[in-house]
Amino acid sequence: MLEHPKKLLAIAIILLFFGVAMPFLMVIKVVESTLFLNFLSFGASVLGLFLGIIGVAVYRVRQTRRSDEENRYR
């Protein structure tokens, strides 16, 4: 999974959006607030945050390696 940081970032964005949208829908009473949905939205937010941080870190490492390999042959 760490081989594709763009996929990891896409999953993180989806989880973060879910973690923001569900509490908003609960506050405006479109969706009934339950303990399960509260923990699910919190877990999605935290997991999305961690996956986003990992995805950005992997992306940066790959960019650094790629630029180092290009500079090596100059």
What is the model's pTM?
0.81
Q: How far is CA 39 from the centre of its chain?
A: 17
- Taking only the tens place, the pLDDT of each residue in 24-51 is 999 999 999 999 999 999 999 999 999 9
CA distance 52 to 44: 12
Q: How far is CA 3 from the centre of its chain?
A: 15
> Does the structure show a pLDDT above 70 at 64?
yes
Q: Which residues of 6-35 are buried (b: 16+ CB within 10 A; e: fewer)?
A: eebbebbeebbebbeebbeebeeeeeeeee
Range 8-23 average pLDDT? 96
pLDDT band at 69 (very low <50, low <70, confident <90, very high): low
